[in-house]
Structures are given as structure tokens and as C-alpha cells.
Amino acid sequence: MATQTTRGCVIATYGKESLFQADNGEAPYLISANRKAGKAVCGDLVEVDCERRIARIDVRDSEYIRPDFRHRPKVIAANIDTLIWLTSHSPPNDELIAARALIVARLQNLSLVIIQSKTDSMPSEAPAHLSSTQSFAKNCDIPWFPISTLNGEGLSLLLQSIQGKNALIVGQSGVGKSTLVAKLTGDQQIKTQSVSDATGHGRHTTTTAQQYIAKPHQLTLIDAPGMRDIGLWQMPEQTLLAALPEITNVAQNCRFHNCRHDQEPDCAVKAALENGEIPELLYRAYQDAVAKELLS
């Protein structure tokens, strides 16, 4: 006799337990992990048995991977189709993050959207990191949305663009991720926190990835823990280069077949970079991965 199961989605994970939202609409409840079924992450579609244990995890349409402290790949969200990078003038961030976000989105076959928050408090002259990121987004045809959760600026245009999406929203602590998720979903119980006046850095409010639904917009949002970077994990160099056609399409014209596109003579990639044919931030993100030995 087949065991009766309940289908639904994992909307958060806490060690060996996960928060489960059943398809039948009942209130979310905790379920237990099952080693035989595999490790579930936020966004997984699962079947749960009568003992509230995971009986089966559906094959994932996609996985969002970020490196752990040893630069090993770690899945933190599943079944998303859009990666949202939230940036702001405060706190400042490394301008290379936008390039890494594009690389990760390409590697994982996700659409990338960049949101600039806190337009209501923007200084008269945009900080260098923000200007550089916006220019990069324009050059790479990445949708860019300046918004304010305080006065509502840009929110309607943003919603038109991401309506119906299954999105993961990432960004460093303090840029306003949880505030934006609360605004878009209407869930005012989401905890938010401001930037520390003493350090200029954000304070962590989200400790685990959690899924929220904006029903009027058929929008699913996974709010990820604050991160100060979107890192690249150890991978074959050819895997990374597969996400960089701007470089690989030109590299075949280099003088040496094993050119590192650094100090070698007659490097077609360096020439294209100097001519503005390759976005500088993409090139720098690639060289940074090589320098930090993030490639296997």
C-alpha cells in the first residue's frame, strides 16, 4: 500500500528541519530531513509523508550556487529563474560584484536584474562604485531599476518587469533587501534593519534563505542572507570562460593558444579591452578569479 504524501514547497531551512508550505494552502509547518531523499534547500518542491518527513525532492529546474568558506559550491536556493542583485549608494560595495553576478547568472541560466535602492537619499553626485556599476549594466543590457521603498519611486516599473518570476534577491546587509521584499509582498512581519552608523556596514537581519509570495503579481521572492560579494567557486577555467563569450570570441586571435590575457604579447583580448570592445569589469572579474586561484 502506497504511503500518502503531501506535496508542497520548502520555504526555509534550519539545519535538519525545513519550513514547508503545502499546496493545499494549510499553514506552514516544520518538516524533518531525510538522508535518503537528499538535502532540501529553499525553493525545493517536495513530497512529505505522514510523519512530516521529506519523502521525495523533485528534480530541480535550476540551482543557485554560491561558494562556502573553502570556495566549494553550495546550493542555497532552487527552482528560480531570475537573480536580483540589490545595490545602493550606502553601504558601498565592490564594483566587481555586478560582473560576478552576470557571470553566475549566465553559468546557472538565470536572468539578471539589478536594483538600485534608496534613491530618496542619493547624494547629488553618485558614488564611483554606483556609477561604474550602472555603466556596466548599460553596456551588458542588464535591466537596471532605481527605486525607493520610502516614496515608492520605480516600484511599479520593477513589478512590471519581474511579475510572474521566481526570483532570488541578493545583496549585502543594509541595502534594503528585506525592506523591499516586505514592500513587494505586503508582509510587514519581515524583520528589517538599518545600516550601522558606526561602521557604515549593514546589520544582518536575514539568517537563512526564505521564500515569500506576492500573490497579486504571481511573484515568488527568496530573500537570501546578506552577503558582501557574489563569489565564484572553484571550477574548470573552461567552465568560467563559457560564461564569457566577450573574451572567448576574441581569444582565438591571440598570438599564443594558451594566452592568459595578462602580460603576453599580441594578446587580442587586451587589445579588445583597450578598444572598449570588452567590458572592463568582466575582464577584471575573470582575472581576479585567476589570481585568487578560484579555478581548478
The CATH number given to whatever domain includes residue 276 is 1.10.40.50
Assess if residue 232 is contained within a domain: no
CATH code for the domain in which residue 159 is found: 3.40.50.300
Assess if residue 231 is contained within a domain: no
Domain shared by 181 and 130, yes or no:
yes
Domain shared by 151 and 87, yes or no:
yes
Q: What share of the chain is helix, strand, coil (3-state, %, to 5)?
A: 25, 25, 50
Assess if residue 229 is contained within a domain: no
Assess if residue 1 is contained within a domain: no
| Contact status, residue 87 vs residue 117, Cβ threshold 8 Å | yes
Three cell numbers written together for 113: 536584474
Domain shared by 146 and 251, yes or no:
no
Assess if residue 174 is contained within a domain: yes
Last residue of a domain, one of 168, 197, 223: 223
Task: Work out the number of other CB atoms within 10 angstroms of the CB of residue 242.
Answer: 14
Domain shared by 153 and 90, yes or no:
yes
Query: What pLDDT is recorded for position 139?
Result: 94
- Each residue's pLDDT expressed in tens, for the chain with a length of 296 residues: 457 999 999 999 998 999 999 999 999 999 999 999 999 999 999 999 999 999 999 999 999 988 888 878 889 999 999 999 999 998 888 889 999 999 999 999 999 999 999 999 999 888 999 999 999 999 999 999 999 999 999 999 999 999 999 999 999 888 989 899 999 988 766 654 443 333 333 333 446 899 999 988 999 999 988 666 788 888 888 899 999 999 999 999 999 999 999 989 999 999 999 999 999 999 999 999 888 766 66
Count the domains in the chain.
3
Assess if residue 149 is contained within a domain: yes
CATH code for the domain in which residue 46 is found: 2.40.50.140
Query: What pLDDT is recorded for position 73?
Result: 86
SS3 32: strand
End-to-end CA distance of the chain: 48
Domain shared by 51 and 95, yes or no:
no
Domain shared by 82 and 176, yes or no:
yes
Last residue of a domain, one of 57, 73, 100: 57
Residue 17: enclosing H or E segment and its boundaries?
strand 17-22
Scanning the structure block, which residue is given the C-alpha cell 520593477? 158
| Contact status, residue 83 vs residue 104, Cβ threshold 8 Å | yes
Domain shared by 112 and 176, yes or no:
yes
Three cell numbers written together for 13: 531551512
- Cα separation, 161 vs 239, whole angstroms: 30
Domain shared by 111 and 191, yes or no:
yes
Torsion of CA 165, 167, 173, 176, to 10 degrees: 10
Task: Work out the number of other CB atoms within 10 angstroms of the CB of residue 109.
Answer: 9
Domain shared by 218 and 280, yes or no:
no
Last residue of a domain, one of 172, 194, 223: 223
Assess if residue 51 is contained within a domain: yes
Assess if residue 296 is contained within a domain: no
Domain shared by 94 and 215, yes or no:
yes
Query: What pLDDT is recorded for position 194?
Result: 42
Structural domain containing residue 246:
237-291
